[in-house]
Copies of this chain bind each other. A is one copy, B any other.
Amino acid sequence: MEKMKLKLLYADLKSDIEIIETELEKALNSSSHLLNEASLHLLQAGGKRIRPVFVLLSAKFGDYQIERMKHIAVPLELIHMASLVHDDVIDDSNMRRGRRTVKAQWNNRVAMFTGDFIFARALEYVTIIDNPRAHQILARTMVEICNGEIIQIEDKFRMDQHIKDYFRRIKRKTALLIESSCELGAVVGGVDEQNIRRLKRYGYFVGMSFQIIDDILDFTATDKELGKPAGSDLLQGNITLPMLLLKDDATMQPYLEKVMAGTLTEEERLKMLQYVRRSDAIKQATAVSDKYLQKALKEVAALPNHPMKKKLRDVALFIGKRKF
Show the binding face of A for B, using Cβ within 8 Å.
30-35, 86, 89-90, 108-110, 112-117, 119-121, 123-124, 126-127, 130, 132, 135-136, 138-140, 142-143, 145-147, 149-151, 153-154
Given A139-B120, A142-B123, A143-B121, verify A113-B149 contact (CB < 8 Å).
Answer: yes
Report the Cα distance A35→B151, complex, angstroms.
9
A117: which B residues are within 8 A, CB to CB?
143, 146-147, 150
Distance between A84 CB and nearest chain B CB, rounded to angstroms: 13
B120 with A127: CB separation less than 8 A:
no
B121 with A127: CB separation less than 8 A:
no
A130: which B residues are within 8 A, CB to CB?
132
Distance between A161 CB and nearest chain B CB, rounded to angstroms: 14
A127: which B residues are within 8 A, CB to CB?
132, 135-136, 139
A115: which B residues are within 8 A, CB to CB?
116
B150 with A32: CB separation less than 8 A:
yes
Q: What are 28 of the A-B contact pairs (CB < 8 Å)?
A: A31-B147, A32-B154, A33-B154, A34-B150, A34-B153, A35-B147, A86-B112, A89-B109, A90-B112, A108-B112, A110-B150, A110-B153, A113-B153, A114-B150, A116-B119, A117-B143, A117-B147, A120-B139, A120-B145, A121-B143, A123-B135, A123-B138, A124-B136, A124-B139, A124-B140, A124-B142, A124-B143, A127-B135
Report the Cα distance A86→B110, complex, angstroms.
11
Q: CB < 8 Å: which of B35, B113, B132, B153 contacts A86?
A: B113
In the complex, residue of chain B having the shortest beta-carbon distance to the beta carbon of A122 = B139
Report the Cα distance A142→B119, complex, angstroms.
9
A132: which B residues are within 8 A, CB to CB?
127, 130
A34: which B residues are within 8 A, CB to CB?
150, 153-154
Report the Cα distance A121→B117, complex, angstroms.
17
Report the Cα distance A121→B144, complex, angstroms.
9
A112: which B residues are within 8 A, CB to CB?
86, 89-90, 108, 112
Distance between A144 CB and nearest chain B CB, rounded to angstroms: 8
Distance between A61 CB and nearest chain B CB, rounded to angstroms: 25
Given A32-B154, A123-B139, verify A89-B116 contact (CB < 8 Å).
Answer: no
In the complex, residue of chain B having the shortest beta-carbon distance to the beta carbon of A129 = B132
Distance between A305 CB and nearest chain B CB, rounded to angstroms: 35
Report the Cα distance A30→B255, complex, angstroms.
35
Report the Cα distance A183→B20, complex, angstroms.
32
Report the Cα distance A110→B140, complex, angstroms.
20
A146: which B residues are within 8 A, CB to CB?
113, 116-117, 119-120
A121: which B residues are within 8 A, CB to CB?
143
In the complex, residue of chain B having the shortest beta-carbon distance to the beta carbon of A130 = B132
A136: which B residues are within 8 A, CB to CB?
124, 127
Report the Cα distance A32→B169, complex, angstroms.
12
Report the Cα distance A311→B175, complex, angstroms.
49
In the complex, residue of chain B having the shortest beta-carbon distance to the beta carbon of A168 = B31
In the complex, residue of chain B having the shortest beta-carbon distance to the beta carbon of A91 = B109
Given A127-B135, A139-B127, verify A153-B120 contact (CB < 8 Å).
Answer: no
Q: CB < 8 Å: which of B35, B90, B135, B147 contacts A150?
A: B35
